[in-house]
A and B are shown apart, each in its own frame.
Chain A
Amino acid sequence: MPTLEHPEYPEATLLHLESIMPCRESQMSTLLSVFGERQQYSFPSIFIYGHTSSGKTYVLQTLLKTLELPHVFVNCIECSTSRLLLEKILSQLQSLSSKTKHASHISCDTLNQFVCLFKQEIMAEELQNETIYIVLDKAEQLREMEANVLPAFLRLQELADRNVTVILVTEIVWELFRPNTGCFEPFTLYFPDYSIGHLQKILSHDHPPEYSADFYAAYINILLGVFYTVCRDLKELRHLAALNFSKYCEPVVKGEANERDTRRLWKNIESHLKKAMQTVYLREVSSSQWERLQQDDGEPGQVKGLSAHTHVELPYYSKFLLIAAYLASYNPSRSDKRFFLKHHGKMKRTTFLKKHEKTSNHLLGPKPFPLDRLLAILYSIVDKRVAPTGNIFSQISSLVTLQLLTLVGHDDQLDGPRYKCTVSLDFIRAIARTVNFDIIKYLYDFL
């Protein structure tokens, strides 16, 4: 018994739709009923939202394509300005209506122009008695365009006085869209996340032709068992499934196990999948490298991940500058006396600090410091006398370009620039070790 019913379309088509889009029946039927029949006016604007890879774009695209509804599909992320967006819609409309491609370029600067041109386009063709759908994917980009773009699209039906429906597809909720001047409220439709059962069903859906569906389903089951806790992204899971499937089949291909021997297969694949979770999934190791490893039967440990290369070699004074910056960022400035003066006397941590400073500075993050303090600390931690040469100053700015320091606030160099040190404790300790500087002794938090 089909869940989708619609008087307009033949049952076979609907059944086909259901089979290629599992687990999205209710959303589909809602959409179908909102769309109504071909010539009927539909809701002026529909707002579809849901988490990443919950099938929003896929459902819409297949629905519109299979039912052969006239539509325009635009991904807003490609259009950095409203002009690009409008022109793209118009050019797609053009190619939609006239089958013969005459690529005359339309230029369209404002929405007003757009509405006129839009009417013209439709008038010219035989699209007048059907609803035209304009789908704007990644619609959150619209918020960064001119203020009138979003409200105008929401009531395009009224403005153009044509049978048109605008569909916005996005990952965030409508409340984050609503302009504070108010606008036409679209019909909102939520696509919930797939549950583990759904994922299993969808992933098993496309098994390789050489193997049986059951065999693949068992594999998917193992895969989900490992990855479901960290990743629910369908696309990513599918990618991982494809990457690791050859390894899973290995015993079967070699003839060591048959397809039913799930326990054995599980034993073979589980550790492999866990390794994949730490490497390929995080893109520490690229997919092609991973595949090569599988083919060569090498240990995944052979290829070092990206984060294995944390070591950064720096010139001698840059190291000290970075250390000085770290100290300036994480020590309260009043403690400088204690660390860098020879006769500082005893200062206990608890007595000379205000209450809020007793919390660990490392939890609060780096604080900005002026250039002079950085240099003062530098002069006192370097054993030799450091001349304030141009090279020292240029090193500071090259540390900024390397993103090891950041310039805080305005970048007026005359007006006492302030910096923040952005490196981690581990990093700075590794740096300090290379110059034999015991940084822990100088850190207020570890007193």
Chain B
Amino acid sequence: MSTCSVSKGCFVFKPKSKKRRIASTADYFNDSKNDSEDSGLRFATCESLWKQIKSETEQIQEELNKQLYDNIIRFLRQSHSEFQEKKTEWACRMKSSEIPTAALVLGVNVTDHDLTFKRLSEVLQDNVTPYVVSLQAKECPGIRYLLKKLMGQLMDCYVEDQSEEEEYVTVSKKRIRCSLDALTDWYECVTKKTGSETPSKKRTSPSHWQSPPVVVIFKDMESFTTKVLQDFIVISSQHIHELPLVLIFGIATSPMIIHRLLPHSVSSLLCIELFQCLSCKEHLGTVIDKLLLTTKFPFKLSEKVLQVLINIFLYHDFSVQNFIKGFQLSVVEHFYSQPLSVLCCHLPEAKKRVNSFSHEQCEHIRSLPSFRRYVESQVSEKQIALLTEDNFVKEVTWILLEDLHIYHENYFPVLKCLHIFTSSLPKYPLGKQIRELHCACLEKRVWETEEYESALQLVRMLCKADLVAMLQKCVKIFMSFPGKEFGNTVEKLEEFLSRFQNLEVAEASKVQDESISSQKELQKKTDLYHLQKTLLQLKESRRSKKLTKFEMLRFEVVDFIDSLVRNYLAPAEMQTLHEVVYFGAASTLCEHLNAAPRTALHTALNNPYFYLKNQALKSDAGCISNKAPDICIAYKLHLECGRLINLVDWLEAFSTVVTAVKGTDSDSVASDEVDEIIHARFIRAVSELQLLGFIKPSKQKTDHVAKLTWGGC
């Protein structure tokens, strides 16, 4: 550093106060390799889109759980009214007083529970009681910790409730020993206070009940130790008369766990009622329906990405939260990696943005595979125009985007309509859930698949009642979509329906006639030849009769549906400019969401070039290069050994590999002695392997280590 001073000497420089920039997501977007002109815009679009999606998902969850919360509140109210009743009645006096308990079965998707419980306690706090405590098993290894946690949380809600009297609370907090006695005293004190003060000050919210119950939520019932639960229940049952306690057990597996955790003497102190949460598959169905199968959000997932997300859900965790997180990741990734994603917004906005496109961005459009395909299909003059004139490209893009929008508007109603037909077929050739059908349609032309063919065959065999019901449902679906496109379709469907109704009257009489006449013919006296002839005739007529009016109509209906499918359910990849709104990098998503740590470790150690990108490390798969890092050499050698590895042999092999090239000139040494440096390097490599968990020292044999892994990875 330089100073303005002329004299020599020591100068003190105060370090410039560098503000450490916290790298935000926005910066990340800007730092990307892409030109930064539109990255800010893309980021803003991404954020606003995600905000919408997030609020939508929250709303979905709320609606789905509303029923459950209502049921729980009703249960609380009921059990609470029993508590408030004066215990003079004979039956009440005789009954042992049980602690009201709600067993809440939530399913195995533990990651989703947090949100449910959070919401539940909010709902309870708003409507029922300020005293809601939620406990986790890992916080309560013993009854003391449980009580401490319980009281801590309760006292806190007290403080929130009446902030002026904090002083009093802090004083009492210091003195209070964690016991239920103290809790009972506290409760008495609190309720008495609010009871006398509320009329004048109205501090507690009016929706709370008189002498509100204390709700204790055990978030993960399975993980609590038996002893803690038992003790807590026994103790609190002794105070139930003074302290209106209500327990909520969050159960992930099945309610049988209550019997497994609690002996009869304890469970007889509880009054358990069961509440079932909506299954996570239904939840996912709703989420997919509201997020993906709608034109509300411009962003779409391609078939492969959707398949990855659904597979993770079905195969691994059943967690809707994780699904939404995956969806979020794809949104971010799409806006980050696709420069044209700036157009992934609502149509009017997108048109505006197209108009302000620079030359470079037009080039981006030209380089899209789907756009190139489109160009090739045009006449040559237009091709040239498309490739040279930016303004013309903008115009075309404009139109194409509109087309894409219309395609989506048509796609979803027809998809839902087809789903109505296929979802009730035996063996579900096209899948039971609409998501499966959606994937099939996105993947390729669905009408070319065998499954579609067999599904149509089955539809052709449906009985009238089913068919009519389905048609009615379809009409409803088309009506609910605002697009004008389907005016004709609805008319056509309604025409079918009326024709079915007319058939009913006509056919009833006809069928009867025929059957009677044929039977009469049989009853006539005839010889064998004639009988045979008539029977043959009957058979023939039956075969040809297959096409009754109803059957004709049925064919017509099926053909109509087929034409709808062919017109509207073309896969998205066929659409020009689909890259703008569809996110297709399934492998990136997979890498992030379904990581394979063991495979990655194996690749790193087995083929260091993969990560280090050093040309010297490039080697054939089989041999061991001595240029590789020591740990890689040690690792490869250890793969060739059995369960127990002799360290001396290993060291020898190691030193052979390491000195392989030098071998020509160091022949002269040719001693058994291993170079000290190589020895040290070997030891370091081995201890690194031990740290990674590949080997451990074994007590079975001296100088041996045991291999902990098995197989190649």
> Which A residues are within 8 Å of any B CB, using their own CB?
52, 75, 77-81, 84, 87-88, 105, 206, 208-210, 233, 235-236, 238-239, 241-243, 245-246, 282-283, 286-289, 304, 306-307, 309-318, 372, 375-376, 387-395, 398, 401-404, 414-416
Contacts and interface: CB of A to CB of B under 8 A. Distances in A.
Contacts of A289: 273
A309 B79 contact: no
Given A283-B267, A306-B259, A307-B259, A317 B316 contact: yes
24 contacts: A78-B180, A78-B235, A78-B238, A88-B179, A239-B96, A242-B91, A287-B271, A288-B79, A288-B82, A309-B254, A310-B254, A313-B107, A314-B108, A315-B315, A316-B315, A318-B108, A387-B596, A388-B599, A390-B596, A398-B108, A401-B222, A402-B222, A402-B253, A403-B222
B257 A236 contact: no
Nearest to A231: B264
A77 B231 contact: yes
B108 A306 contact: no
A401 B82 CA distance: 36
Interface in B60-83: 78-79, 82
Given A75-B238, A404-B253, A288 B316 contact: no
B312 interface: yes
Contacts of B597: 389-390, 393
Binding site secondary structure of chain A: helix
A306 B179 contact: no
Given A80-B144, A390-B594, A307 B256 contact: yes
A77 B231 CA distance: 7
Nearest to A319: B315
Given A245-B91, A286-B273, A309-B256, 13 more contacts: A77-B234, A80-B143, A88-B181, A286-B101, A286-B271, A316-B314, A387-B599, A388-B713, A391-B595, A393-B597, A398-B108, A401-B252, A415-B708
Contacts of A312: 108, 253-254
Nearest to B257: A403
B95 A287 contact: yes
Contacts of A286: 98, 101, 270-273
Interface in B231-245: 231, 234-235, 238
Contacts, number: 171
Contacts of B108: 312-315, 318, 398, 402
10 A-B pairs with the lowest CB-CB distances in the bound complex, closest first: A242-B94, A306-B255, A391-B316, A208-B90, A389-B596, A286-B271, A316-B315, A372-B710, A390-B595, A239-B96
B220 interface: yes
Contact of A309 (B105, B273, B279): B105
A75 B143 CA distance: 15
B177 interface: yes
Contacts of A209: 90
A401 B220 contact: yes
Interface string B424-450: 000000000000000000000000000
A80 B279 CA distance: 40
B142 interface: yes
A80 B142 contact: yes
Interface in B83-118: 90-91, 94-96, 98, 100-101, 103, 105, 107-108, 110
Interface size range of chain B in the complex: 35 or more
B265 interface: yes
A288 B317 contact: no
Contact of A241 (B82, B94, B238): B94
Contacts of B110: 398, 401-402
Contacts of A372: 709-710
- Most B CB atoms within 10 A — which of A241, A283, A394, A415? A283
B567 interface: no
Interface in B293-343: 312-318
Interface in B258-300: 258-260, 264-265, 267-268, 270-274, 276, 279-281
Given A306-B272, A372-B710, A206 B254 contact: no
Contacts of A318: 108, 316
Given A306-B274, A318-B108, A401-B222, A78 B268 contact: no
Contacts of B312: 391
Nearest to A375: B710
Contact of A415 (B252, B316, B318, B696): B696
A316 B317 CA distance: 9
B599 A236 contact: no
A120 to B, nearest CB: 20
B175 interface: yes
A388 B594 CA distance: 10
Among B142, B220, B256, the one with the most A-chain Cβ atoms within 10 Å of its Cβ is: B256
A309 B95 CA distance: 27
Contacts of A52: 265
B678 to A, nearest CB: 27
B693 interface: yes
A121 B105 CA distance: 52
A345 B273 CA distance: 54
A210 B90 CA distance: 10
Given A283-B270, A288-B82, A403-B222, A315 B318 contact: yes
Contacts of A105: 175
A407 to B, nearest CB: 12
A311 B596 contact: no
Q: Which of A238, A375, A414 has the most CB of B within 10 A?
A: A414
A399 to B, nearest CB: 9
Contact of A283 (B142, B144, B268): B268
A414 B708 contact: yes
Interface in B467-526: none
Nearest to B270: A283
A307 B254 CA distance: 8
Contacts of B98: 286-287
Contacts of A79: 179
A43 to B, nearest CB: 28
Nearest to B266: A283
B370 to A, nearest CB: 32
B253 A238 contact: no
Nearest to B597: A390
A439 to B, nearest CB: 19
B359 interface: no
Contact of B94 (A206, A283, A390): A206
Contacts of B147: 80
A206 B93 CA distance: 10
Contacts of B103: 306
Interface string B679-712: 0000000000000010010000000000011100
B252 A402 contact: yes
Contacts of A310: 254, 256
B315 A317 contact: yes
A78 to B, nearest CB: 5
A308 B78 CA distance: 24
Q: Which of A105, A242, A287, A306 has the most chain B CB within a 10 Å cutoff?
A: A306
Contacts of B279: 313
Contacts of A395: 316-317
A312 B256 CA distance: 11
Nearest to B147: A80
A208 B88 CA distance: 11
B205 interface: no
A129 to B, nearest CB: 30
Contacts of A287: 95, 98, 271
Given A289-B273, A388-B713, A315 B265 contact: no
Contacts of A304: 274
A246 B317 contact: no
B99 to A, nearest CB: 11
Contacts of B223: 401, 403
Given A238-B96, A242-B95, A414-B693, A81 B144 contact: yes
Contacts of B281: 313
Contacts of A390: 594-597
A307 B255 contact: yes
